[in-house]
Chain A
């Protein structure tokens, strides 16, 4: 067990290093530099001479790449991601901090809901295979899941938010509500999260449902399920404790992955719904060639994915003796 965990830890350390290095290299292979991008955003309003002032402001250096690399590693080790260019002079950690919580909240809720609802529907579909639910839910949800997410989110925002006015279409909470520990704030947060979370859940449901249903169908044919039926156990007990519990294992591994991608997955949602999260920051960073901010965001995403997988590894090691 310990050896297994150590081996995995070594693997994750290596993966983290590769990610750090790629993270450093990739943005620097892009043509252009942040100062000229910033300058160009003004489309002639800014004096052309300003470009030198901008370069100096952002501390762009011509130091050799390896030198930049080592100072980058040293800074990252201290948790210092540098200063953002787009949000100059705010430090990257502060900029990321402003969006991180909302992304984790929104995408976290959406992933958990999609997983729970999808798996439940999948289990039920398999249980009543060929029934009403089984013939309706999988095709409809797969159909919805096949829409381009961007389009679906825009359509939902337009219909329920703009035309019908049932839900707010932007922001994480009402502009007039002071954030704090009170009911009005929580109500507002839920109301604002509803539409973005709904679109994320709806497109993800199909995947969870199908994988759960398919595994469950196999499990239902197993001997131990027949045995349980022969013993005269209640249907509910067989469904939940015998079949679903076993069928859930592959989905748990998938859940780990999905949780890891939470930080990046909400990108489109946040853009469509003007939700103050990581995804929108990433777009801003890429547009402005803001290397420090891009690196900071990619690193949070990378570490989240690695961390989630590490947790799943631990969980699998506990649940399944064969992996040890």
Chain B
């Protein structure tokens, strides 16, 4: 039977990819469901609907730290900081040939206002009105001065009014055939295993994109994703690959490249500051000194990242770091078990013969460390951290729990120590809001959406308000400087390491990728809206070598 089967299979034609088609691996799904609604969260919506099919007004370039004009040519704050004006490009067409105008932008924001389930950024919590004085200008008026709102507004994907005004319920519409302004708008193929996005025939950036189409094979698991990348079937991916130098680069050092900048979110060890002795900053600092972060990143992250910066800011906020704060933070962020022991002694926790510290009441220093079971990088980090803590006399049990249970107890403050992520954004505002804001502190037992460690800093909310107030960068820097100083003096949470932004590319068929040598944008397709910058720059390699 087998020989027969082999002969039969032999006549299936070998698949040949079109030379201008870029194969991209971003989402991990075994089946594609047709959904191109940019107003829903990613996950349900196919990538790159939010930044590729549709486009925002401006793009914050995380690699350069600057705003790139996109659908808007220019933008400015009013003198009182209560209004934001966008000058739109006048040469933009929708993919169906209609003209893009200010009414489309206004209609998009009104969709969010009228369907609160679509308002993921909570825009209408600070926006008063969105108006179009003429066809190329949009004015967003604020309820109060709120400078972080710029990113939420500028990054909103804009949808065409002439299509969406006909949609009955935009929050459940799958938008199967998108009409958009982006570089790739045509659905050439859509099957459960693969789909292909073709060029926008009316794209406003003349001559762009250089490639004909993007193609997305459905791949369901990390192993499968890694295999297809390693085998050279994929041109652009954002997947974690272990031992990438050997596994991927080693297979074809000339063409197989990766760039893992440490610009992802910072991973923290959160101490529950409502529980003594974790309410004591000296104890928190002592625990931090006990942690061997070098070992943690090598064991947990395969050395793909580095120990955290003392300010808690990842490399995407490198310009915001204050050297004075870094110096103070370094005192409790550097691995120093002797220092940790001394600080715990001073705090009244003395070491007994059993290797554990006890207070004067005879209670042992015992902490549990919660982590999500199955998130293997965090589990490994937790194991190293717990061994580090044991070494200075803290009894530490790693408690790995199912994701939902873990997240529930994190929000309700039912933990001693827990590893978790922190907020990301175009400025460190959200990060410090989550770390310090007293307003965000909920009573223990009530679910908190941020500040899970429940540290109410008395000064933070005023400083955060100062940041919200500041439309000038210098003033924003002042506020962030003060906030990071609060952070390094109080150590409300212990930064562990920044997550790398995973990104791999293959130059066999296409060139022009961002890299450490040419950092015109961030490479990782997992970020939004950075991929727009990449997909409009990449181009087919000339004198392409036949690789099939």
Contacts and interface: CB of A to CB of B under 8 A. Distances in A.
A272 to B, nearest CB: 7
Contact of A87 (B42, B44, B116, B408): B44
B121 A49 contact: yes
Interface stretch (B134-142, B214-222, B336-344): B214-222
Central interface residue in A37, A88, A172, A287, by most chain B CB within 10 Å: A88
Contacts of B450: 48
A108 B498 CA distance: 47
A213 interface: no
A88 B218 contact: no
A184 B30 contact: no
Given A40-B403, A41-B43, A274 B424 contact: no
B421 A37 contact: no
Interface string B477-519: 0000000000000000000000100000000000000000000
B174 A90 contact: yes
Contact of B43 (A38, A43, A162, A171): A38
Contact of B407 (A36, A187, A273, A277): A36
Contact of A50 (B121, B407, B411): B121
Contacts of A273: 224
B41 interface: yes
Interface string B16-48: 110000000000011101010100111110000
B30 A280 contact: yes
A271 B44 contact: no
B8 A171 contact: no
B152 A170 contact: no
B165 interface: no
Interface stretch (B97-105, B188-196, B237-245): B188-196
B118 interface: yes
B217 A44 contact: no
B11 A175 contact: no
Interface in A46-100: 46-51, 53-54, 56-57, 83, 86-90, 94-95, 98-99
Contact of B31 (A37, A48, A280): A280
A179 B191 contact: yes
Contact of A187 (B12, B172, B218, B402): B12
B32 to A, nearest CB: 8
Contacts of B172: 83, 88-89
B117 A36 contact: no
Interface string A256-293: 00000000000000111111110011001001010000
Contacts of B217: 170-171, 175
B171 interface: yes
Contacts of A83: 172
Nearest to B230: A162
Contact of A190 (B9, B408, B424): B9
A188 B15 CA distance: 10
Contacts of A50: 41, 120-122
A139 B479 CA distance: 73
A38 B141 CA distance: 31
A36 B452 CA distance: 14
Contact of B119 (A42, A53, A191, A274): A53
Nearest to B13: A184
A37 B404 contact: yes
B265 interface: yes
Contact of B121 (A47, A57, A284): A47
Contacts of A276: 30-31, 192-193, 218
A289 B8 CA distance: 43
B405 interface: yes
A263 B42 CA distance: 29
Contacts of A223: none
B440 to A, nearest CB: 8
Central interface residue in A31, A99, A174, A275, by most chain B CB within 10 Å: A31
B422 interface: yes
Contact of B30 (A51, A179, A187, A270): A270
Contacts of B449: 48-49, 51
Given A90-B35, A281-B30, A187 B8 contact: yes
Contact of B33 (A44, A98, A287): A98
Central interface residue in B16, B31, B116, by most chain A CB within 10 Å: B31
A36 B173 CA distance: 22
Contacts of A90: 33, 35, 174
Interface string B335-367: 000000000000000000000000000000000
Contacts of B424: 44-45
Interface in B207-254: 215, 217-221, 223-224, 227-228, 231
A169 B224 contact: yes
A47 B30 contact: no
A177 interface: yes
Nearest to A273: B224
B8 A190 contact: yes
A279 to B, nearest CB: 9
B474 interface: no
Contact of B35 (A53, A89, A194, A271): A89
Nearest to A174: B15
A88 B46 CA distance: 11
B443 interface: no
Contacts of B193: 171-173, 175, 276
A118 B10 CA distance: 27
A30 B404 contact: yes
Given A36-B404, A44-B423, A49-B449, A169 B119 contact: no
Given A83-B172, A194-B9, A284-B29, 12 more contacts: A37-B404, A53-B120, A87-B44, A89-B35, A89-B174, A98-B31, A170-B220, A170-B224, A179-B191, A276-B218, A287-B403, A289-B404
Q: Please name the 6 residue pairs, one residue from A and one from B, whose CB atoms are nearest each other, closest first.
A: A32-B404, A187-B12, A49-B122, A48-B449, A280-B30, A88-B44
20 contacts: A32-B404, A36-B407, A36-B411, A40-B407, A44-B421, A44-B423, A48-B450, A50-B121, A89-B44, A98-B33, A171-B217, A177-B15, A187-B12, A190-B8, A274-B218, A276-B30, A276-B31, A276-B192, A284-B29, A289-B404
Interface of A: 30-33, 36-38, 40-51, 53-54, 56-57, 83, 86-90, 94-95, 98-99, 154, 161-162, 169-177, 179, 183-184, 187-188, 190-191, 194, 270-277, 280-281, 284, 287, 289
